[in-house]
Amino acid sequence: MLRDVLLLQKREIEQRLRERYVEREFHPRKLAHDLIKVVIGPRRAGKSFFAAHLVQGLGPFGYVNFDDERLEALGDYDELVVALDALYGKPKHLLLDEVQNLPRWELFVNRLQRQGYRLTITGSNAHLLSSELATHLTGRHVQIVLFPFSFPEYLRSEERELTGPETVEALRRYAELGGYPEPLLKGVNHREYVATLLRATLYKDIVVRHRIRSPQGLEDLATYLMSNVAQEYSYSTLAQLTRLRSVHTAEKYLRHLEEAFLFFSVRRFSFKVREQSRANRKVYCTDNGLVTATSFRFSSGLGRLYENLVAIALHRQQLDGRLECYFWRGPQHEEVDFVVKQGLRVTQLLQVCANVEDPKTREREVRALLKASAALKCTELVVLTETEDREEDASWFALRGRIRFVPLWKWLSEAR
């Protein structure tokens, strides 16, 4: 039985490796050693495909996918190793896919490494992986975060060079469709695919795993958040606007949604840690396709979708340990969308605005940047727009600064 399951999985991965592959972005230093390679990210973001190509480049490998109900009753892990050795000819490398579904997986992985196997593992639960990795694999693993296609990856998937207005149109399509690989590469109906994926993530990764008895509240919360990306929230507000019993439940459910890589939060910037922890946060979704397929259309149009794209790009870099990301709100309620902090210093302030032709809009964005610049001692001021590409000196009473207007497609192309 076990050998039959592994044989079918072997044929599946061999078939997949013959399919078209869009080169993914990651730092090559992550391969420069024999540590366990941990590929994490949302379901269906392409982790298995990426990991298989990654391991294939290192030599012959054995493969097992634990996201398979036929392996749920697996009790003898040694039997699994024997079957893999027999099927793949004692491979030096092993790819363990969706490893969080295996009970006590971290102890098994630890033992395999001690026995000399070189391991690549994938997983779709941030907390489950990070907590066990920190406990049992300290210093012996390197993490690669894989989200759905970034904008450069999306352009590569289209297999054509774009210039000028075509690039802006491609950006609008990407902001609307998101970056999940299968709908883009295989012509699958986007809305049906994403709706099915969301439901599978909610129920398989959250409801079943955490034994949630009333899943309607979780669904309500996810739908509300999808319709309000780039907006501030408090746990008390979330509890009131959805069918959740308490603030504690709202906090717990949001944590589950973030651990499943559906959403992430951005903190409000403050030099006081206590004030920062108590302030409202802003919520973003890990892919725009989820937002447009499952929520009501935004009254603000592309602006909120563009802001979500920037948040995703910064969040990826934050997960890689390259920066910290916040938003800023001033005493007169001026707002800067993103504060980029590297080390102890704020290095960049970012506003996202699809169109700044309206003088009032332009004044609002610039005024907030100049006030935040004075408060945070940062002179790198950027407004991300659809098309504008220039610099200008700006002032607001005694405040002065030089502001760069950068096309969003260009910034996304250079963000990694």
pLDDT of 129 reads 63
pLDDT of 299 reads 44
CA distance 116 to 96: 15
Sign of CA pseudo-dihedral 36, 42, 43, 44 = negative
Residue 401 has pLDDT above 60, yes or no: yes
pLDDT averaged over every residue in the chain? 91
Q: What are phi and psi of 75, to 5 degrees?
A: -115, -30
Note the helical H segments in 268-301. Answer: 273-278, 288-294
Paired tokens of 261: 């890589």
Q: Residue 40's closest CA among 286, 309, 293?
A: 286
Residue 127 has pLDDT above 80, yes or no: no
Domains and CATH numbers, the chain: 2-145 (3.40.50.300), 151-308 (no CATH), 324-414 (no CATH)
Of how many residues is the chain composed? 416
Q: Beta 231-233 vs 281-285: how paired, if at all?
A: antiparallel
CA distance 43 to 153: 18
Rounded to an integer, the average pLDDT of 37-51 is 93
Residue 388 has pLDDT above 70, yes or no: yes
The CA–CA distances, whole Å, from 112 to 65, 92, 95 equal 16, 11, 12
Residue 33: pLDDT band (50, 70, 90) is: low
Residue 28 has pLDDT above 70, yes or no: no
Is residue 122 a contact partner of residue 96, using CB atoms and an 8 Å limit?
yes
Residue 300: pLDDT band (50, 70, 90) is: low
Residue 266 has pLDDT above 90, yes or no: yes
| Range name among 29-38, 90-99, 100-109 with the lowest pLDDT average | 29-38
pLDDT in tens, 334-362: 999 999 999 999 999 999 999 899 999 99
3-state secondary structure of 285: strand
Residue 128: pLDDT band (50, 70, 90) is: low
pLDDT of 158 reads 87
Q: Residue 314's closest CA among 326, 302, 330?
A: 326
- CB burial class (10 A; 0-12, 13-18, 19+) of residue 31? middle
Residue 317: pLDDT band (50, 70, 90) is: very high
Paired tokens of 299: 């009254």
Residue 243 has pLDDT above 80, yes or no: no
Paired tokens of 186: 């295989």
More confident residue, 201 or 126: 201
Paired tokens of 307: 């802001």
pLDDT in tens, 267-298: 999 988 888 888 999 999 999 999 998 865 54
Per the rule left: phi > 0, alpha: psi between -120 and 50, beta: everything else, 163 is beta
CA distance 284 to 308: 6
pLDDT of 29 reads 63
More confident residue, 147 or 131: 147
